[in-house]
Amino acid sequence: MRSIFAPVKRILPVALTVLLLAASALLAAGQTAPAKPAQPEAPPLVVEAIAGGLHLVKGGSGANTAFYVTEKAAFAVDAKMSVESASAMLAEIAKRTSAPLTTVIITHSDGDHINGLPGFPKGLTIVAHDNCKADIEKAAADLPAIKDYIPNKTFDQALLPLFKGTDGRIDLLYFGPAHTSGDLVVWFPAEKAVFVGDLLFVGRDPLIHRHKNGSSFGYVKTLKGLLDLAPRVEVFLSGHADPLGRADVEALIASMEDKQAKVKAMIAEGRSLEDVKKAFGIEDRPAAAGGRRWLSLVETIYLELTGK
Ligand SMILES: [Zn+2]
């Protein structure tokens, strides 16, 4: 049996050397600490087997992704945010199947879901909703590497099925504008699971991209549509959470509907946007790179209800 202390024995001398070197560097620099901490590296990928051929991929740079392996073909869902993380994801898929990766399904056009596309081989089928394709074409102006990865298979309402084999099936659904105007839902009926991209958040309000024609009311409609699917869905995979269940989706619907009702009541009382934000304790987050300010859910609801 290998001693559990072996790795520690190996690490200790290295750690001591690093400490000594750091200490002497500090002395040489007149006791000042290094000015810039090193850029944190993306955490390693962690693959979680969900059911059948369905796997969730956490870690790396960007949002969670997924992949689905069948006897004939493998399918990726979203592309991570960097070429390195996309390559690491491809390596994880290759460990689990000898079937070729034929298809990348893109849930929506945000960078943390698509910027890793250039890490995938060229010539794959890239599937997206029509509106997502239009957003990716716009994004390609700033990120030319994406130009070779513009979705080449798009749809407006649903793709039933995208794939059907003896050992699995993938359906693609669209419920209308929600996080953006082009969010698709990947449905794995045999596994009673969906992958929803950014259509589910826990512990924080969902983000609605008004500049991509998202809608908070559409978001709630989409969540209700997911709960109504038959056969019943039990596992909800998201770009930014561990696997969730029906109770998590129900709780998010309740929380969003509660905020929508409260904002509506305040508008009926003639209260201003500033009043509404104050009542919910909303402080504006600083503008993102490029000058776009992230709107809170409450502000988004106010703007939707007042038609602004
Ligand atoms: Zn997103």
pLDDT tens digit sequence for 164-179: 999 999 999 999 999 9
Residue 9 has pLDDT above 60, yes or no: no
For the segment 176-200, what is each residue's pLDDT rounded down to a tens digit? Answer: 999 999 999 999 999 999 999 999 9
Contacts of 292 (CB under 8 A, 6+ apart): 211
Q: What is the mean pLDDT of the chain?
A: 89
Say which CATH number the domain at 173 has: 3.60.15.10
Q: In angstroms, what is the span from residue 100 Cα to ligand 1's centroid? A: 28
Beta carbons within 10 angstroms of residue 250's beta carbon:
13
Residues 178, 270 share a domain? no
Q: In angstroms, what is the span from residue 43 Cα to ligand 1's centroid? A: 20
Residues 246, 179 share a domain? yes
What pLDDT does 13 receive?
45
Residues 200, 93 share a domain? yes
Residues 83, 209 share a domain? yes
Please choose, from the candidates 158, 201, 193, 152, the residue with its C-alpha nearest in 3D space to the C-alpha of residue 67.
193
Confidence bin at 107 (pLDDT 50/70/90):
very high
Residues 171, 86 share a domain? yes
Residues 123, 18 share a domain? no
3-class DSSP assignment, residue 125? strand
Residue 89 has pLDDT above 90, yes or no: yes
Residues 247, 202 share a domain? yes
Stretch 95-116: mean pLDDT: 97
Q: In angstroms, what is the span from residue 280 Cα to ligand 1's centroid? A: 24
What pLDDT does 291 receive?
65
Residues 64, 111 share a domain? yes
Sign of CA dihedral 84, 68, 197, 128: positive
Q: What is the DSSP letter of 145?
A: G
State how far the alpha carbon of 97 is from the alpha carbons of 69, 107, 260, in Å. 7, 23, 46
The answer to whether 203 and 251 have CB atoms below 8 angstroms apart is no
Residue 12 has pLDDT above 50, yes or no: no
Q: In angstroms, what is the span from residue 213 Cα to ligand 1's centroid? A: 13
Residues 51, 175 share a domain? yes
State how far the alpha carbon of 270 is from the alpha carbons of 150, 284, 300, 302, in Å. 46, 22, 17, 12
Residue 28 has pLDDT above 70, yes or no: no
Q: In angstroms, what is the span from residue 208 Cα to ligand 1's centroid? A: 9
Dist CA 149 CA 145 (whole Å): 8
Residues 51, 113 share a domain? yes
Confidence bin at 34 (pLDDT 50/70/90):
very low
* Domain count of the fold of the chain: 3
Stretch 66-95: mean pLDDT: 97
What pLDDT does 42 receive?
86
Stretch 201-224: mean pLDDT: 96
Q: In angstroms, what is the span from residue 308 Cα to ligand 1's centroid? A: 22
What pLDDT does 20 receive?
41
Please choose, from the candidates 163, 164, 187, the residue with its C-alpha nearest in 3D space to the C-alpha of residue 174.
187
What pLDDT does 4 receive?
44
Stretch 260-288: mean pLDDT: 91
Residues 243, 293 share a domain? no
The answer to whether 124 and 102 have CB atoms below 8 angstroms apart is yes
- How much of the chain, in percent, has pLDDT values that exceed 90? 81
Q: In angstroms, what is the span from residue 45 Cα to ligand 1's centroid? A: 19
Residue 3 has pLDDT above 70, yes or no: no
Dist CA 294 CA 119 (whole Å): 29
Q: In angstroms, what is the span from residue 110 Cα to ligand 1's centroid? A: 5
Query: Which residues make up the environment of ion ligand 1, defined by Cβ < 5 Å?
Result: 110, 198
Confidence bin at 288 (pLDDT 50/70/90):
low
Report the predicted TM-score, pTM, of the whole model to 2 decimal places: 0.85
- How much of the chain, in percent, has pLDDT values that exceed 70? 85
Q: In angstroms, what is the span from residue 16 Cα to ligand 1's centroid? A: 43
End-to-end CA distance of the chain: 68
Please choose, from the candidates 203, 177, 197, the residue with its C-alpha nearest in 3D space to the C-alpha of residue 185.
197
Residues 223, 274 share a domain? no
What pLDDT does 285 receive?
72
Q: In angstroms, what is the span from residue 164 Cα to ligand 1's centroid? A: 28
Domain residues for the domain of 23 are 1-38
Q: In angstroms, what is the span from residue 275 Cα to ligand 1's centroid? A: 28
Q: In angstroms, what is the span from residue 199 Cα to ligand 1's centroid? A: 8
Last residue of a domain, one of 254, 279, 297: 254
Confidence bin at 283 (pLDDT 50/70/90):
confident
